[in-house]
Amino acid sequence: MSLDVETTGGAGENIRGSVLKEARNERDQARKLLSEGIDPSEERKAKKYNIYSNANNSFKAIAEEWFNINKPKWTETTAHNKWLRLTKHILPYLGSRPIKNITTQELLSVIRMVETQGKIETAHLTKNIVGEVYAFAIATDRADRNIALDLKGALVPVVRKNMATITDPKEIGGLLRAIDSYAGDYITKCALRLTPIKSQFVIC
């Protein structure tokens, strides 16, 4: 029993000693600030504000604000795809960072992780979405420049394959019959009927 009392007493003394040491450090810091002409209470307020400001100016906080403001003008699919790309490829790595502190190299490294998965077009689309978030941050005075624009030419280019042109008369005839028998939307059918006509003209 006596051992427990002594142990508790020793722990209590250690805690008191730690508190006193911290208080002395704070006192010394306050004296140092005063000697430099800085009000210690104002300095504490500034630190609290910076913590709050960094949380509200993180990439994730600004991305959420941008998304919620612009979501009504997008289709459901577009909104889903934009947010999915951010949450999957960007936010896990840069979401908690103050947007002003993220460097071009950091963004490039994150987007290149998408490239290494063979998702070249997704990498470009993700970069463009990040650019939209930065444009919003600049407009709301929380970023100075759009670092996504600095990545121009840094990503593997998207190579698009052209579809082969039908030249066989029999195949063309089959295409025209398929268009004529299309039973879907009337406007779509009209557009399909115009396609063979438009394909005869070459735009120079």
List pLDDT tens digits, range 13-72: 665 666 566 667 767 776 775 776 666 565 555 554 444 445 679 999 999 999 999 999
CB-based contacts of 155: which residues, under 8 Å, 6+ apart? Answer: 111, 112, 115, 120, 123, 124, 127
Better pLDDT: 191 or 122 = 122
Tell me, what CATH number does 115's domain have? 1.10.150.130
**Euclidean distance between CA atoms 109 and 147, whole angstroms:** 13
23-27, 68-72, 106-110, 198-202: least confident range:
198-202
**Euclidean distance between CA atoms 135 and 144, whole angstroms:** 9
89 shares its domain with 46:
no
pTM, entire model: 0.57
Q: Please state the domain count of the chain.
A: 3
82 shares its domain with 146:
yes
**Euclidean distance between CA atoms 173 and 175, whole angstroms:** 5
39 shares its domain with 104:
no
Crossing angle (nearest 10°) for helices 186-198 and 169-180: 160
Q: In percent, how much of the chain has pLDDT > 90?
A: 50
The answer as to whether 161 is a domain residue is no
The answer as to whether 164 is a domain residue is no
List pLDDT tens digits, range 160-183: 766 566 667 767 777 777 777 766
| Paired tokens of 57 | 């100016």
49 shares its domain with 63:
no
The answer as to whether 85 is a domain residue is yes
Q: Which letter, b or e, does each residue of 43-80 get, where b requires 16 or more Cβ atoms within 10 Å of its Cβ?
A: eeeeeeeeeeebeebbbbbbbbbbbeeeeeeeeeeeee
Range of the domain at 76: 59-151
What are the counts of helices (DSSP H) followed by strands (DSSP E) for the chain? 9, 0
The amino acid that residue 85 corresponds to is R
Say what the pLDDT of residue 190 is: 75
Say what the pLDDT of residue 3 is: 44
**Euclidean distance between CA atoms 145 and 150, whole angstroms:** 10
Q: Is the pLDDT of residue 147 over 70?
A: yes
